[in-house]
Amino acid sequence: MTYDLYIGDYAYSSWSLRGWLLFEKFGIARTTTLVDFSDQSVAAQLREIAPARTVPAVKLPDGAVLSDSLAIAEELASRHPEAGIWPKDPAARATARNLAAEMHSGFFALRNDCPMNLRLSYQDALPSDAVLADLARLETIWAHARAAYGANGPWLCGDYSAADAFFAPVAARIAGYNLPVGEMAQSYVAAHLADPAFRRWRAMGMVNGQTLPWYAKDYATRAWPGPTPRKAIPVAATSSENATCPYSGKPVTHFMEMDGRIFGFCNALCRDKTAADPEVWPAFTAIL
pLDDT tens, residue by residue, 225-284: 999 999 999 999 999 999 999 999 999 999 999 999 999 999 999 999 999 999 999 999
Say yes or no to pLDDT of 11 above 80: yes
The mean per-residue pLDDT over the stretch 155-182 comes to 98
Residue 93 pLDDT: 98
Residue 4 pLDDT: 98
Residue 187 pLDDT: 98
Contacts of 229 (CB under 8 A, 6+ apart): 199, 203, 276, 277, 278, 279
Residue 259 pLDDT: 97
Residue 103 pLDDT: 97
Residue 2 pLDDT: 87
Residue 117 pLDDT: 97
Q: How confident is the model at residue 38 (pLDDT cuts 50, 70, 90)?
A: confident
Residue 39 pLDDT: 76
Instruction: Render 215-248 in DSSP notation, one character per residue.
Output: G--SS-EE--SSPPPPP-EEE--S--S-SB-TTT
Say yes or no to pLDDT of 285 above 80: yes
CA-to-CA separations, 198 to 5, 87, 213, 214, in angstroms, rounded: 17, 20, 23, 23
Say yes or no to pLDDT of 193 above 90: yes
Say what angle helices 183-194 and 162-176 make with each other, to 10 degrees.
Answer: 100
Reported as a single tens digit per residue, the pLDDT across 111-155 is: 999 999 999 999 999 999 999 999 999 999 999 999 999 988 999
Residue 151 pLDDT: 84
CA-to-CA separations, 102 to 42, 70, 143, 163, in angstroms, rounded: 25, 11, 15, 10
How far, in Å, CA of 178 to CA of 163, rounded? 22
Say yes or no to pLDDT of 44 above 90: yes
Residue 9 pLDDT: 96
How close are the terminal C-alpha atoms of the chain, in Å?
Answer: 32
Residue 172 pLDDT: 98
Mean pLDDT of all residues belonging to the chain: 97
DSSP E strands, 13-75: 31-34, 57-59, 65-66
In this structure, the strands spanning 31-34 and 57-59 are unpaired
Which pTM value belongs to this model? Answer: 0.97
- In order of their start, the domains of the chain are 4-83 (3.40.30.10), 90-200 (1.20.1050.10), 233-285 (no CATH)
Check residue 26 and report its DSSP letter.
T
Share above pLDDT 70 across residues of the chain, in percent, rounded to a whole number: 99
CA-to-CA separations, 89 to 83, 95, 166, 176, in angstroms, rounded: 14, 10, 19, 33
Tell me which residue of 219, 199, 13 sits closest to 111, measured CA to CA.
13
Q: How confident is the model at residue 189 (pLDDT cuts 50, 70, 90)?
A: very high
How far, in Å, CA of 177 to CA of 93, rounded? 31
